[in-house]
């Protein structure tokens, strides 16, 4: 067993893990942060997307020991402490960017990274759809998700 220390959603957390333990397992099973979902175990669906030091990663194929000493943000760390939704989360709700909700945490985390990568530039439908490759939704057909990301991005950057 290896002791790791992570800063998760702003709080230092420790865990004892086997070297082969995946980050998603630590988040869900050891830290109780079940918003990060396991959908495929092969990095194809994006349900496990979290941010590591500000960059989005798929936690189902990332070893927990690789995250030792680093900052991890999960969907639980996105809303304000008082429960007020982040603008991207609010946009998903307002624009029907979810149906069953299973993919939603990963979609939101990917969308936040997308906005960051584009440095406040408007996101058009083509860009959003291209950047969502690697995030699967089996329910919505993506129309509401694309609208939600565009609206959330605009709200985050002062454009809406």
pLDDT at 41: 79
Helices 104-117 and 87-94, packing angle to 10 deg: 120
Classify domain 87-156 at the CATH superfamily level.
[2Fe-2S]-binding domain (1.10.150.120)
- In this prediction, residue 59 carries a pLDDT of 97
Yes or no: domain 2-76 corresponds to CATH 3.40.50.1000 = no
Region of residue 151 (left: phi > 0; alpha: psi -120 to 50; beta: else): alpha
Reply yes or no on whether the pLDDT at 49 is more than 90: yes
Residue 136 Cα distances to 1, 15, 56, 115, 132, angstroms:
34, 30, 15, 19, 8
Predicted pLDDT at 115: 96
Confidence (pLDDT) at 120 = 77
For 95-144, what is each residue's pLDDT tens digit? 999 999 999 999 999 999 999 999 878 899 999 999 999 999 998 889 99
DSSP 124: P
Domain 2-76 and domain 87-156, same fold? Reply is no
């Amino acid at each position: 067993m290896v002791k790791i220390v992570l800063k998760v959603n702003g709080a230092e957390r420790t865990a004892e893990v086997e070297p082969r333990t995946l980050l998603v397992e630590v988040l869900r099973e050891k830290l109780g942060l079940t918003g990060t979902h396991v959908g495929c175990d092969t990095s194809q669906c994006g349900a496990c997307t979290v941010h590591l030091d500000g960059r989005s990663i798929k936690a189902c194929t990332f070893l927990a020991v690789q995250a030792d000493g680093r900052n991890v943000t999960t969907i639980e760390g996105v809303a304000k402490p008082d429960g007020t939704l982040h603008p991207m989360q609010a946009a998903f709700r307002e624009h029907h960017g979810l149906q069953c909700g299973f993919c939603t945490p990963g979609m939101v985390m990917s969308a936040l990274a997308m906005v960051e990568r584009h440095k406040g530039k408007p996101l058009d439908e083509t860009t959003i759809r291209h950047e969502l490759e690697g995030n699967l939704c089996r329910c919505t057909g993506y129309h509401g998700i694309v609208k939600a990301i565009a609206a959330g991005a605009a709200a985050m950057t002062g454009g809406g």
